[in-house]
Structure 1
Amino acid sequence: MRGPPVLRLDGLTKAYGATMALNDITLSIPDNAYVALLGSSGSGKTVLLRTIAGFETVDRGEIFLNGAPLHGVPAHRRNIGVVFQNFALFPHLNVFDNVAFGLRHGAGRHIESKAIEANVRAMIDLVGLGGLERRSVTQISGGQRQRVALARTLVTEPQLVLLDEPLGALDANLRTRMCGELRRIRERLGVTFLHVTGSENEALAMGDEVIVLDEGHIAQVGLPDRVYTRPRDARVARFLNCYNLIEGRVAAGGFEAEGCLFPCASAASNDAPIYAIRQDLISVQATGEAAPGDPLLRAIFVASEYSGPAVTSFFKLPSGAVVTVEDHLSHRDPQTFEPGRSYGLTWKVDDALLLSRRAGASS
């Protein structure tokens, strides 16, 4: 059973002129969890993070931390840690002094110096930087600088840690390694992380729970596999960047699109004008045949892209829309296709989703 939330947002609303940055955000963040907040540029995710941290005020609504309202509480008294994308380290201080800064000048200014030194060394060891205490932060790698920024935040023992696109400044290989490190550190400390990102892969990999933010609204909240396999509407599916979304209309016996009638596993409603099929669930048939009862769509092969673990192929439909097919090399050898040739695209009827363009608010 889930315990009381560490953070509760009740009706947060924030506008900049005619632009609604946050629109009635109501949300609970569980204690001792890694929560990913996913949103595209302009979705309001940075405004929401800054509002929780106390750097921005809202027009309406309330924020509660462990049940206590934060209205009027300044940022430095909220006991919320923030790790910025650019790390915001002090270049004139070494690793030890950067980590110690918050204890010496903020939350721990009444702690004895010996206790501060012990706490800082323990935190530096926890994030894997033992032996680099006297190294300048200008002389360490990007991943090490991120660990310094994280240690500086965690050493003050915040009740909640906000991570503002913390992997955005790192290269791809380092991002992968740091995903595991962040989860390990969080689990050791038992503090909740709210990880803000524009990367669907990062959100799904990191979050015990994923929150999808869309134009200031909460579009979906759920477990990563649920969000991935059952996006709530077409906009969420588009954020995930792994679905083909085909426009059409509900018709007798299924869904009509691209001159075809696709059978549906369940009755389609008129508020579901988008047919969605994941890129990795499509099979390509040179003969243009499908198993009985499965959908079949003819398309012209355009090109393929090799990305290491997968090959992505693009097919043009009669309308000019493009369908993307992803072949994971761990599953089978990649197929080869002839440019300009027509192929049959098919999938299991149960794998398709019928989605509305945009569902109502979710919490």
Structure 2
Amino acid sequence: MLRLSGITRRYGDVCALERLSFEVPDNRYVALLGASGSGKTTLLRLIAGFEEPDAGQVWLEGKRLDGVPTHERDVGFVFQNFALFPHLNVFDNVAYGLRHRARNPLGSASEIRDRTMAILDLVGLKGFERRAVGAISGGQRQRVALARTLVTEPRVVLLDEPLGALDANLRARMCEELRAIRERQGVTFLHVTGSETEALVMGDEVAVLAEGRIVQAARPAELFALPGNAAAARHLNAWNILSGRVRDGALLTGTGSLALPRPLPEGKPAQMAVRFDQIDICAPGQVPPGRDHFSARYVAGEFNGATALAFFQTDDGQLIQVTDHLSAPRLPVMTEGTDYALHFAPGAALVFEGAGA
């Protein structure tokens, strides 16, 4: 098990990570989701040993890693730009770590060949061993980088946005391949990404990094359906979040008063989250009984194939999104610049105490 305890990392006056604690179980695919600048790559670099924390500890299978040189940590790192050696072919890129690692480098040409060819077969690159890395596709280069890491048999593999440089179709295919490779190897993957879709697809568990800390870690379906706080909900890009203050058992927001699904302390700030696909639209004054609602002006629509997005703006300037699944469309035809009532079942809303960011 990889365990981070009270990790803090500062760059001058900027705190990238603050007292972060987190556990990554053995033999799991864990996706770390965070916005740009949230500290995702910093966290990986601390685990790998490229940087050291200002405070806190890093443990792997009961051994403390902070302060241990990078090459002695038994941690693999797959860089976002792949970091392949351009003057070496596919085989020699993958075999490099076996030949030149600091501990127990292999001198047997036959053993190097057998292990290198076995890992190339595992990642689907058998027959490409003599190709120049500049003569293969982006997805194949990504697999070379992964094979180069896996061939040394690390206990943990860190992946720094490994799909970011690939096109959409190739990214979707590589998601499936990475999961299959990890399962066959039985090694722990910690995969950082800024894409909520990628994190939910890839991870056996998804951890959300915000404001220098892990704000929630859960299985993908649980995280998507029940984010535990507004920061986690915001990172999923599926929830509208309305901020306000509790007044007389309701949340008083910039767009009106909304019923609270559970009691909250009077006068305190709070936030309400309603998922994009759980909001319906109707004309003002035609809200069905028992539905909570607020008003907003229709701004624009966006067609995405199987789904369509509708964008609204509230009186206080907040952008609201509504998703319509075209296999079962439910939204009416709308006119830009017109006000509508956005309504939802009271049980669809989640509320969180505290002020919004």
Q: TM-score, normalised by structure 2?
A: 0.94
> Match for residue 75 of structure 1?
70
Distance in 1 between residues matched to 2:285 and 2:132, nearest whole Å: 63
Equivalent position to 2:244, from 219, 238, 248: 248
Question: Matches of residues 224-235 of structure 1 in structure 2 within 5 Å?
Answer: 224-235=220-231
Q: Which moved more, 1:81-90 or 1:107-116?
A: 107-116
Q: Which moved more, 1:89-98 or 1:329-338?
A: 329-338
> Match for residue 175 of structure 1?
171
Distance in 2 between residues matched to 1:199 and 1:112, nearest whole Å: 42
Q: Which moved more, 1:217-226 or 1:270-279?
A: 270-279
Distance in 2 between residues matched to 1:98 and 1:172, nearest whole Å: 26
Distance in 1 between residues matched to 2:189 and 2:285, nearest whole Å: 49
> Match for residue 298 of structure 2?
301
Q: Which moved more, 1:91-100 or 1:289-298?
A: 289-298
Distance in 2 between residues matched to 1:237 and 1:332, nearest whole Å: 25
Change (3 A) 1:151 1:358: farther
> Match for residue 3 of structure 1?
none
TM-superposed deviation, 1:175: 0.8
Query: SS at 2:53's partner residue?
Result: coil
Residue correspondences, number: 354
Distance in 1 between residues matched to 2:110 and 2:255, nearest whole Å: 76
Asked if 1:277 is matched to 2:289, the reply is: no
> Match for residue 166 of structure 1?
162
| CA distances 1:185-216 after superposition (whole Å, capped 9, x unpaired) | 00001100000111111111111111111121
Q: Which moved more, 1:76-85 or 1:259-268?
A: 259-268
RMSD: 1.8
Q: Which moved more, 1:203-212 or 1:84-93?
A: 203-212
| CA distances 1:39-59 after superposition (whole Å, capped 9, x unpaired) | 112211111100000000112
> Match for residue 119 of structure 2?
123
Change (3 A) 1:146 1:248: same
Asked if 1:60 is matched to 2:43, the reply is: no
Unaligned segments of structure 2, at least 5 residues: none
Which amino acid in 2 is paired with 1:170? L
Change (3 A) 1:259 1:195: closer
Question: Matches of residues 286-325 of structure 1 in structure 2 within 5 Å?
Answer: 286=283, 288-325=285-322
Tell me if structure 1 keeps the 8 A contact 2:281–2:331: no
TM-superposed deviation, 1:108: 5.3
Distance in 2 between residues matched to 1:330 and 1:74, nearest whole Å: 55
| CA distances 1:222-265 after superposition (whole Å, capped 9, x unpaired) | 11122222222222222222211112221224222245332232
Change (3 A) 1:132 1:348: same
Distance in 2 between residues matched to 1:293 and 1:17, nearest whole Å: 53
Distance in 2 between residues matched to 1:198 and 1:163, nearest whole Å: 12
> Match for residue 22 of structure 1?
17
Q: Which moved more, 1:345-354 or 1:258-267?
A: 258-267
Change (3 A) 1:327 1:288: farther
